[in-house]
Amino acid sequence: MKRMRRIHLLVGCLVSPLLLLFAVSGPCQVLALHRGLKDGTYTPSAIVSVLSSLHKNEYFDPRTEAYRRCAGVTGEIAFDQCMRQHERPTTALRLKSALYSALLVLCGLGLFVNAATGLWMALRLKASRRPAAILALIGVLAPLLLTLL
């Protein structure tokens, strides 16, 4: 159990910063806060744009010509099409994107290990076994039911 706690702690420290970034930027995208409104009544803040771009595109470089050309385009699909049409990724940008992608894969693996060890520890502790099992079951069933409805 001590070894599992140590693994859980260390992996958690490694992946937590990126998970926190995605925990903030994901809801911004779900709520469409990263898109401006066509009538101009809402324009996303710079930080929301940066976080959204990192979350979705795996990079953010506001100095690129493509980004400047597409900055006024509203709608996620239209923006992505505009970026693809005007973007000519440099070797440096491709390398940054590849490294960031590798980091995201590492983060995903770390999240899996961290969640699995945390669940294992919760189910092994006698005091929290029943609540942990019930909540884990709800955590499995709720998304399944919502997906099937």
Along the 149 residues of the chain, how does pLDDT read in single tens digits? Answer: 888 888 888 888 888 887 887 777 777 777 777 777 777 777 777 777 777 777 666 666 554 556 666 777 777 778 778 777 766 666 776 777 788 778 878 888 888 898 889 888 888 888 888 888 998 899 889 988 998 88
Report the pLDDT value the prediction gives residue 62, as an integer from 0 to 100: 53
Report the pLDDT value the prediction gives residue 67, as an integer from 0 to 100: 65
Tokens of 126: 């006698």
Task: Give the ranges where the chain is alpha helix by DSSP (H).
Answer: 2-30, 46-57, 65-70, 76-86, 91-124, 129-148
Report the pLDDT value the prediction gives residue 1, as an integer from 0 to 100: 80
Instruction: Look at the chain and count its residues.
Output: 149
Q: Would the pTM of this model clear 0.75, i.e. be above it?
A: no
Report the pLDDT value the prediction gives residue 42, as an integer from 0 to 100: 76
DSSP-derived 3-state class of residue 126: helix
Interatomic CA distance for residues 90 and 83, integer angstroms: 14
Report the pLDDT value the prediction gives residue 141, as an integer from 0 to 100: 93
Interatomic CA distance for residues 73 and 96, integer angstroms: 25
